[in-house]
Structure 1
Amino acid sequence: MNNSQEPNQTNKEQSLQKKGYRPRRSKAKVPQRNRNIGNGYSNGKPTVSFIPLGGVGEVGKNMSVIEYGDDIIVIDAGVKFPGEELLGIDLVIPDISYLVQRVDKIRGIFLTHGHEDHIGALPFVLKQIQVPVYGTKLTLGLVKNKLTEHGLIREAQLHEITADDVVNAGPFQVEFFRVNHSIPDGIGIAIRTPVGLIVHSGDFKLDQTPVDDKVLEFNKLARYGDEGVMLFICDSTNVERQGYTPSERTVGDTFRAVFAKTDSRIIIATFASNVHRIQQVINTAAEFNRKVAVVGRSMVTVVDVSQQLGYLSIPKGMLIELEEVDKLPDHQVTIITTGSQGEPMAALTRMATNNHRQIAIRQGDTVVISATPIPGNEKLVSRTIDNLFRIGADVVYKEVANVHVSGHAAQQEIKLMLNFLRPRYVIPFHGEYRHQATFAKLAQTMGIPDERCIRCNIGERVELNMENAMITGTVDSGSIMVDGIGVGDVGNIVLRDRHHLAHDGVVIAVVTINKEDGTILAGPDLVSRGFVFVREAGDLLGEAKSRVRDALNQKTGKTTEWSILKNLIRDTLNEYFYQKTKRRPIVLPIIMEI
């Protein structure tokens, strides 16, 4: 790769280079959009495509495609948890139509770590495409549980890798490097392609004192930078935060302070996947001679898998069953639970409302919520904290103590990665558009021009060759909603109706007519749900019945055509209800013939 400076280099870039930053240079063009969809070659030059199917312009649903000719590799297959606007939806997964149509080209799915937003969609993906899956020991341990639940474990092609392994996948040579995150066994990925090196950071932070003493592999990053990085795909979740993300060990200091001054039961809620946090709770409980009980299905699963695979070290006899909690003195009990996000059915939420079958919060209990609310969950968390205080618990949360640190890199850590890798192009992922925009400004301070920070959308194809990068088109992509056992059967029309029902309610109008001449034999009877309370709105509904009856009686020709009669009922009620209430409930006419 060419290391020479461009003739038109700005004074600002020259100044930055004098300070030690030396980005790789090329005669790169500004990323642009055109209609040419590359298939390995563009204008006679070998071309590699990067296609995000999720994880850009959003937080969650991470899935990326790297394609060269007839070969494809995929990085991650995650879910996104629904916001309040997605009424009744359980999960959101990527649309993988593009992959299903090219399943014979896929050489493997490579997983960066075991969080739901990176592995949660895998069972749904593997039901459609049977391809090899590569991941570290803990990541695959969590994946195996998921695939077993979905009945897919027998057919799954799971391959365990370490940070020292190299996988040859068609024309791609895939290497891995260890990163720090809020779950053990996280990796970044370096992919040697026919047009250059692509580095994917995975979710990362630079923790100089990690709980497992395994620091990020800076030596590999330096080697990649010297080799020359064509494209760096970088975690941008915390790009708005200045400085550095604190070490996970700082939370352990808070735990010790809480345990040291507490003689009551201690209940700690955290993310089930944060194995390092759980380890610190166990270490602190052991230091203060406490037993530990685990509550919540996902928490029990992660603790079991992590302990079996050697990622959790638990002294013999420390773990107890929930039935044993009430048999011990309060000062010997610690409970680790789910529910740090105030989820309605999570263990802590049910405890806070006295609805848990086995554990009830008592006055004097100390509850530590060791997490920061995910955007959108603030009200749920606040309600849980309020309920705990009402019961008489002492609650420790982020506003009053250092009970949580992020697993994502802040600005100085991102700068350090850019300095190590010196990429020609960067693509921020794992962030909304504001994160992408902030990342671009940060990259400019590091000597990377704005045109080389590619802010792409889901489904856009970014083509790279040895000279330039450009957005050349789009592929089939989007979001698939999972509702119960239904996958993709809930779309915009169903969601629109759910919103309509939630805001305005429904009125059912039942009419019985003579099959021969269409005269009314009974009704109309009106049933209201979520619109008005029948007993308090007798006059409103009584007048509505009269108007429907008059409209039907005045209908000339005495038609028995159902569609005409239904539209007449619907229009009459819609007009009347809006006139009287300024609301438009969903009107469902039901016509019975005799």
Structure 2
Amino acid sequence: MKITSKLKIIPLGGLGEVGRNMTILEYEDKIIIIDMGLGFPELDMPGIDFTVPNTKYLEDKKNKILGVFFTHGHYDHIGAVPYLIGKIGNPPLFASPLTTAIIKKRQTDFPNAPKLNIKVVKEEEVIKLNPFEVSFFHVNHNIPDDYAIKVETPIGTIIYTSDFKFDPHPVNDKPTNLKQLKSFGDQGILLLLEDSTGAEEEGHSISEKTIKENLEIIFKQAKGRIIATTFASLLNRIQQLITLSEAYNRKVVIQGYTMKSNVEISKELGYIKAEKHTIIEPKDMHRYQDERITVIGTGAQGESNAFLMRYANGEHKEVQLKRGDTVIFSSSVVPGNERSVQALKDNLYKRGAHVFHYKMMDIHASGHGEREDLREMLRLL
């Protein structure tokens, strides 16, 4: 068959930057979109909380948009939905069960935004939107229900890897199906759009199994409360902390609006598992000795209004810092936040906390593949 048209691939964000992921695939007069995320403000953007992709290109093409497909539930991939969906004609959305639930929950914070037309898709389900055929396959990240996307077009197959890493021993997840990837490669791939966040790091990303083993060392030696902080969307890590707390007879308190919301959604869908009385309310902490309490909260980036900063400054009404608390930073530092995070750690040290972070031991692993992971994906496809 003679091909007379070209396929346009237009990144509106996420290329040459971290965050703000949004990519257009356009063939003749038909468009699909992959992801619709928030971006991080630059150092020269004081007072700006986040950025969103520029959708001007799409605003006179609303009737050409067939659908928006989401890879996973992190805000740099879904966070711009409330701000942009009305501007582009409120097209159908397609996402995994967890991603769908997070998008819907976030939309409730925007009562004036359009009602979403969102369809839950399962792994390996195929969506046919002529001339595109879109399917989904599982990859490992640090949130459940992370889908890479395969798009069949009239001129060839496109693979969009999503954020991924290869982890042969994931925690609370299954490994990526390497045989499936190899079969895609054998069939022929026109273009691979691959996560490159870790492209400057040599080697393989650290397995979540290693992270859990190192976190357990801290749990074994902690004499009082454990205060653990990580990203609110890092659900696999939150599950590890809950599981370890149960193993060491600790109750768990969740702090931070977004983290509470994500944990509630994930529990309802079965992605976070906890025994019936493990997670308690802050008002019930006094019923338990300190060595039986774990607090998991937001604020690992030194945000002024987040749980951890208020805890460190003695401003949190429910959790006051106690000398001897063990504070775990199970996260990396986002570029630009180094000074605020270091100031937070210094304050915790001064007030008598025992602080652990990823530069001391492997208690955080990126969800993004490093060079050997990227090479492996290239070899398979």
TM-score tier after normalising by the smaller chain length: over 0.9
Q: Could you tell me how far 1:415 is from its partner in structure 2?
A: 0.9
Provide the residue aligned with 2:336 in structure 1: 376
Q: Does 2:214 correspond to 1:241? A: no
Q: Secondary structure of the residue that 2:107 maps to in structure 1? A: helix
Q: Could you tell me how far 1:152 is from its partner in structure 2?
A: 6.0
Q: Secondary structure of the residue that 2:359 maps to in structure 1? A: coil
Contact 2:36-2:76 at 8 Å conserved across structures: yes
Q: What is the CA deviation profile of residues 402-447 of structure 1, one whole-angstrom value per residue up to 9, with x for unaligned ones?
A: 11001001111111111111xxxxxxxxxxxxxxxxxxxxxxxxxx
Amino acid at match of 1:249: K
Amino acid at match of 1:89: I
Q: How does 1:243-262 map to 2 (within 5 A)?
A: 243-262=203-222
Instruction: Kindly report structure 1 stretches of 4+ aligned residues shifted beyond 6 Å.
Output: none
Provide the residue aligned with 1:333 in structure 2: 293
Provide the residue aligned with 1:112 in structure 2: 71
Alignment partner of 1:289 out of 240, 249, 273: 249
* Aligned length, in residue pairs: 380
Provide the residue aligned with 2:51 in structure 1: 92
Provide the residue aligned with 1:168 in structure 2: 128
Amino acid at match of 1:62: N
Q: Does 2:23 correspond to 1:54? A: no
Provide the residue aligned with 1:323 in structure 2: 283
Alignment partner of 1:125 out of 77, 84, 87: 84
Q: What is the CA deviation profile of residues 198-253 of structure 1, one whole-angstrom value per residue up to 9, with x for unaligned ones?
A: 11011000011111241112232112211111111011100111111011121111
Q: Could you tell me how far 1:154 is from its partner in structure 2?
A: 6.9
User: In structure 2, how many angstroms separate the alpha carbons of the residues matched to 1:213 and 1:373?
Assistant: 25
Q: Secondary structure of the residue that 1:189 maps to in structure 2? A: strand
Q: Secondary structure of the residue that 1:417 maps to in structure 2? A: helix
Alignment partner of 1:77 out of 30, 36, 39: 36
Q: Secondary structure of the residue that 1:73 maps to in structure 2? A: strand
**TM-score, structure 2 normalization:** 0.97
Alignment partner of 1:101 out of 50, 60, 63: 60
Q: Secondary structure of the residue that 2:102 maps to in structure 1? A: helix
The one of the two structures with greater contact order (alpha-carbon pairs below 8 A, sep at least 6) is: 1
Q: Considering only aligned residues, what root-mean-square deviation do their CA atoms show, in Å?
A: 1.4
Q: Does 2:263 correspond to 1:308? A: no
Q: What is the CA deviation profile of residues 548-592 of structure 1, one whole-angstrom value per residue up to 9, with x for unaligned ones?
A: xxxxxxxxxxxxxxxxxxxxxxxxxxxxxxxxxxxxxxxxxxxxx
Alignment partner of 2:163 out of 186, 194, 203: 203
Q: Could you tell me how far 1:255 is from its partner in structure 2?
A: 1.6
Q: Could you tell me how far 1:182 is from its partner in structure 2?
A: 1.0
Q: Secondary structure of the residue that 2:68 maps to in structure 1? A: strand
Contact 2:85-2:114 at 8 Å conserved across structures: no
Provide the residue aligned with 2:232 in structure 1: 272
Amino acid at match of 2:377: M
Q: What is the CA deviation profile of residues 343-395 of structure 1, one whole-angstrom value per residue up to 9, with x for unaligned ones?
A: 11110011111111211111010000111101111111101100101111111
Q: What is the CA deviation profile of residues 452-478 of structure 1, one whole-angstrom value per residue up to 9, with x for unaligned ones?
A: xxxxxxxxxxxxxxxxxxxxxxxxxxx
Q: Could you tell me how far 1:146 is from its partner in structure 2?
A: 1.1
User: In structure 2, how many angstroms separate the alpha carbons of the residues matched to 1:237 and 1:85?
Assistant: 22
User: In structure 2, how many angstroms separate the alpha carbons of the residues matched to 1:335 and 1:254?
Assistant: 18
282-291 or 321-330: which moved more? 321-330
Give the unaligned 5+ runs of structure 1.
Answer: 2-40, 422-594
Q: How does 1:373-452 map to 2 (within 5 A)?
A: 373-421=333-381
Q: What is the CA deviation profile of residues 97-134 of structure 1, one whole-angstrom value per residue up to 9, with x for unaligned ones?
A: 11121010001000000011000001111122210010
Larger of the two Rg values belongs to structure = 1
Contact 1:267-1:366 at 8 Å conserved across structures: yes
**TM-score, structure 1 normalization:** 0.63
Contact 1:144-1:153 at 8 Å conserved across structures: no
Q: Does 2:305 correspond to 1:345? A: yes
Q: Could you tell me how far 1:81 is from its partner in structure 2?
A: 2.0
Q: Could you tell me how far 1:47 is from its partner in structure 2?
A: 1.1
User: In structure 2, how many angstroms separate the alpha carbons of the residues matched to 1:135 and 1:261?
Assistant: 41
User: In structure 2, how many angstroms separate the alpha carbons of the residues matched to 1:162 and 1:210?
Assistant: 20
Q: Secondary structure of the residue that 1:207 maps to in structure 2? A: coil
User: In structure 1, how many angstroms separate the alpha carbons of the residues matched to 2:181 and 2:244?
Assistant: 35
Q: Secondary structure of the residue that 1:356 maps to in structure 2? A: coil
Q: Could you tell me how far 1:55 is from its partner in structure 2?
A: 0.5
User: In structure 2, how many angstroms separate the alpha carbons of the residues matched to 1:402 and 1:356?
Assistant: 29
Relative to structure 1, the CA distance from residue 176 to residue 184 in structure 2 (aligned partners, 3 Å threshold; closer, same or farther) is same
User: In structure 2, how many angstroms separate the alpha carbons of the residues matched to 1:169 and 1:46?
Assistant: 17
Q: What is the CA deviation profile of residues 271-309 of structure 1, one whole-angstrom value per residue up to 9, with x for unaligned ones?
A: 111111011101100111010000111110111010011
User: In structure 1, how many angstroms separate the alpha carbons of the residues matched to 2:113 and 2:292?
Assistant: 40
User: In structure 2, how many angstroms separate the alpha carbons of the residues matched to 1:364 and 1:209?
Assistant: 33
Q: Secondary structure of the residue that 1:325 maps to in structure 2? A: helix
Q: What is the CA deviation profile of residues 29-68 of structure 1, one whole-angstrom value per residue up to 9, with x for unaligned ones?
A: xxxxxxxxxxxx9xx7321110000011111100000000
145-154 or 205-214: which moved more? 145-154
Q: Secondary structure of the residue that 2:270 maps to in structure 1? A: coil
User: In structure 2, how many angstroms separate the alpha carbons of the residues matched to 1:215 and 1:297?
Assistant: 31
Q: Could you tell me how far 1:326 is from its partner in structure 2?
A: 2.5
Provide the residue aligned with 2:150 in structure 1: 190
Alignment partner of 1:226 out of 169, 183, 186: 186
Q: What is the CA deviation profile of residues 478-534 of structure 1, one whole-angstrom value per residue up to 9, with x for unaligned ones?
A: xxxxxxxxxxxxxxxxxxxxxxxxxxxxxxxxxxxxxxxxxxxxxxxxxxxxxxxxx
User: In structure 1, how many angstroms separate the alpha carbons of the residues matched to 2:84 and 2:171?
Assistant: 33
User: In structure 2, how many angstroms separate the alpha carbons of the residues matched to 1:364 and 1:130?
Assistant: 52
Provide the residue aligned with 2:138 in structure 1: 178
Give the unaligned 5+ runs of structure 2.
Answer: none
Contact 1:210-1:247 at 8 Å conserved across structures: yes
